[in-house]
Amino acid sequence: MRIDLHTHSDASDGTESPAQVVAAAVAAGLDVVALTDHDTTRGWAEAAGAAREHGVALVRGVELSCRHDGRSLHLLSYLHDPEHPALLAEAERVRAARQDRAREMVDRLSRDYPLTWEDVEEQTADDATVGRPHIADALVALGVVADRTEAFADILATGSPYWVPHHAPAVVDAIGLVLEAGGVPVLAHPGAVSRARPVTEDELAGLAGHGLAGVEVHHRDHSSSEQRRLGVLAERFELLVTGSSDYHGAGKPNRLGEHLTDDVTLELIEGAGRLEVVR
């Protein structure tokens, strides 16, 4: 089976609707795809309908923005109860903080570039989680930069004069919320040096002790040596190993199915989750 457990739609910062992501997964020859938009489940219903129509299995999930030791980490939650009060409240708090942060960044950028909040809204789907990618798309549309990659390399980079932090829960707290909601917590791209320093052995051991279920080992932002390191650590701490594309449509060069998860791991995730895989 070809299983890709990390994709994004325009419910957060992807460029395709949830139904289009599912259709693209079918076109890419996937048997199973997970929709894991940032801090929201708003795309689940549309994706589920498309999955049933196209005959592909759908794993419902989210990617939660978290903090750990002064840096940003992302946690994938699979098959949790979307109505769990505490997890839902925290995700909405992060989503609101992203919106406030985006407005502040646009205010700063508008002093040096011909950018308005309306420009960003034009690049954002209705009710989507607004983030830096939408600001990047607005800058592309205005001709300030060529693409998202250029925007994030300079103007929108962490530490730039325009960058603004936003609220995010501690990753340990987020793991607890996911488990309370019946979900399966998996650490997303923990060795991506372009995002932050890689998660260390001691850190991973600590997170495993708090209930972390797995690690996204196979990801385009991990070098071959980093994938080997994470694979060894996952085995040592008895963590699930996943692989995925982190697909964003036209927003990133990532291609569906470029990294995959094995079917045994999917069975374990489904067995541990509150929800069933949509088939």
Burial of 79 (0-12, 13-18, 19+ CB in 10 A): buried
Cα(217)–Cα(214) distance, integer angstroms: 9
Q: Output the CA–CA distances (angstroms, integers) from residue 166 to 99, 101, 204, in the order listed.
A: 9, 6, 24
CB 64 within 8 A of CB 73: no
Q: The whole model's pTM is what?
A: 0.91
Query: Given this model, what pLDDT does residue 159 score?
Result: 87
Nearest to 207 by CA among 229, 179, 226: 179
What tens digit of pLDDT does each residue of 35-85 get? 999 999 999 999 999 999 999 999 999 999 999 988 889 999 999 999 999
What tens digit of pLDDT does each residue of 152-178 get? 999 999 889 999 988 999 999 999 999
Query: Given this model, what pLDDT does residue 128 score?
Result: 85
Cα(214)–Cα(262) distance, integer angstroms: 13
Radius of gyration of the chain (CA): 18
Q: Which residue has the higher pLDDT, 278 or 98?
A: 278
Query: Given this model, what pLDDT does residue 93 score?
Result: 93
Nearest to 59 by CA among 268, 235, 255: 268
* pLDDT above 80: residue 114: yes
Nearest to 61 by CA among 265, 279, 269: 269
What tens digit of pLDDT does each residue of 259-276 get? 999 999 999 999 999 999
